Amino acid sequence: MKRSLFLWQFGGFTFAVVFGTLLHFLFEFTGSTLVTPISAVNESTWEHMKILFFPMLFYAIFEWFFLKKEYGNYWNAKLFGTLLGVELIPILFYTFKGCFGAPPDWLNILFFFVSAFLAYYYEALILKSGKYKKFNVISIILLFLTAVLFIVFTYFTPRLPLFLDPVTNKYSIV
């Protein structure tokens, strides 16, 4: 199974970027409040973090059924990789914005893809290393709490720049 780790991670990356891209437009296209917990409801950086987080979480749950016996550090690797990917989105965006001004849309898309790629690459490194076998339960709890925060902050949005929609200059569901 370890030989196929690359394929699993590539599958995760592909799922994350395809499903994440769909989640970017799902609320806008459907207008349904049923999709607001996991889809982007505006163009804020926070919502772009959310559309990487949920595909990575859903794929991790699916993948776990196939890899759980192979990797004792599975959930730790998923926590570390997912948080890395989610954190890279604002790091890349705000670093570019601070140096050069607002990035064009194609570059924001590239930031999303790079964040997903590095997240899955980092997960693979951790899984292959066999490190961090303790605390899997804590990692599951932290992933769950992160999911809850993404959902709660969709409806009760903090008035911070990370949550501001630069298109409408509003917070939360627009």
Which tens digits make up the pLDDT trace of 26-74?
999 998 889 999 999 999 999 999 999 999 999 999 999 999 889 999 9
pTM for the model stands at 0.94
Which pLDDT belongs to residue 49? 98
Domain range enclosing 35: 2-163
Q: Is residue 171 part of a domain?
A: no
- Tell me whether residue 148 is in a domain: yes
What is d(CA 146, CA 161) in angstroms, rounded to the nearest whole number? 19
Is 174 among the domain residues?
no
Q: Is residue 170 part of a domain?
A: no
Whether 84 shows a pLDDT value over 70: the answer reads yes
**pLDDT(104) > 70:** yes
Q: What is the tens place of the pLDDT at every residue in 15-27? A: 999 999 999 999 9
**41 in a domain, yes or no?**
yes
Does residue 172 surpass a pLDDT of 80? no
Give yes or no for a contact between 124 and 6, defined as CB atoms under 8 angstroms apart: yes
Number of domains in the chain: 1
Residue 169 lies in a domain: no
Question: Is residue 20 in a domain?
Answer: yes
pLDDT digits (tens, 9 = 90+) for 114-163: 999 999 999 999 999 988 788 889 999 999 999 999 999 999 999 999 99
Q: Which amino acid, 29?
A: F
The answer for residues whose C-beta is within 8 angstroms of residue 95's C-beta and 6 or more apart is none
Confirm whether 173 is domain-assigned: no
